Chain A
Amino acid sequence: DGGITQSPKYLFRKEGQNVTLSCEQNLNHDAMYWYRQDPGQGLRLIYYSQIVNDFQKGDIAEGYSVSREKKESFPLTVTSAQKNPTAFYLCASSMGVAYSNQPQHFGDGTRLSIL
C-alpha cells in the first residue's frame, strides 16, 4: 500500500543534542511538508519542498533544518537551537504545485520529548 512512513514513533532528546526525524513516501508525490503540532494550536508549517534539491521555510523554521536529496525522503533535523522542541511532528506529501486542489496525505507522526 502507498503511504507515508515516519520514524521513530517516539524520540527523546538530551539538552544540546540534534535529532533527525525520518519521513519516507512511496506515493510518487513531488511535494513534501513538515508540521509541528502543539496542544490547542493546530498544526504549524516548519518547512516544505516542492521538488528534489529545493525547499522553503514555513512559518516556524527557526531551530530546524531539512534536506531533500531524494524524491521519496524529506528528513527533519531538530537542532539544539530549538529551545522548545517537545511536540508532535507530522510529515505530509502532495502531488505538487500543478495539482493544488489535491489534498495532502499525512504520516502517523513522531512524538519528540526532552530528557
Chain B
Amino acid sequence: AQSVTQLDSQVPVFEEAPVELRCNYSSSVSVYLFWYVQYPNQGLQLLLKYLSGSTLVKGINGFEAEFNKSQTSFHLRKPSVHISDTAEYFCAVSRRQGAQKLVFGQGTRLTINP
C-alpha cells in the first residue's frame, strides 16, 4: 500500500517570497509522483509529475519539484510567488504497474499575502 504525508496543512507567505511545500511518501513498490493544484470550487489541475530520470522536474506556473529517493520526498518549490498562486496543493502517488489508483496527501493550503 502507498501513503502520502504533506507536512504542512497551511503555509502563509508574502508575495514575491520563495515557498516550499513538503511531501513525503511511503510505498513498497515503485511509484509515479504528482503535484496537483486546486483553486476554490474547482477540480484539480496537474502542476508536474515525476516518472523517471532527472530528479528535478519543472512544471507549470514556475513551480518545480525535486524527487529524493533516499528520503522518499517530493517537495514542491517556487522561487517567487504571486497572489494568483493562492490555492490548495495536493501531492499524490500511483503504482507504476496496474490500475492508476492515485493516493493523495491531505493537502496544503497556500495563502499569499500582499
> Chain A residues in contact with chain B, CB under 8 A?
4, 6, 31, 33, 40-45, 48, 50, 56, 58, 90, 92, 94, 97, 100-109, 111
Contact = CB atoms under 8 A, between A and B. Distances in A.
Contacts of B51: 101
Can you list the 8 inter-chain pairs with the closest CB atoms, starting with the nearest?
A: A106-B43, A42-B104, A106-B44, A43-B104, A42-B106, A103-B46, A108-B43, A100-B100
B98 interface: yes
A86 to B, nearest CB: 15
Interface SS of B by simple majority: loop
A48 B42 contact: no
Contacts of A40: 9, 106-107
Nearest to A49: B99
A30 to B, nearest CB: 11
Contacts of A100: 32, 94-100
A48 B94 CA distance: 14
Contacts, number: 68
B24 to A, nearest CB: 14
Given A40-B9, A42-B105, A103-B34, A97 B44 contact: no
Contacts of A42: 4, 90, 104-107
Interface string B56-98: 0000000000000000000000000000000000100011111
B54 interface: no
Contacts of A101: 32, 49, 51, 96
Looking at B32, B42, B44, which has the most chain A CB atoms within 10 Å of its CB?
Answer: B44
Contacts of B45: 106
Given A40-B9, A42-B106, A48 B99 contact: yes
A33 B103 CA distance: 12
B102 interface: yes
Contacts of B46: 103, 105
Nearest to B34: A103
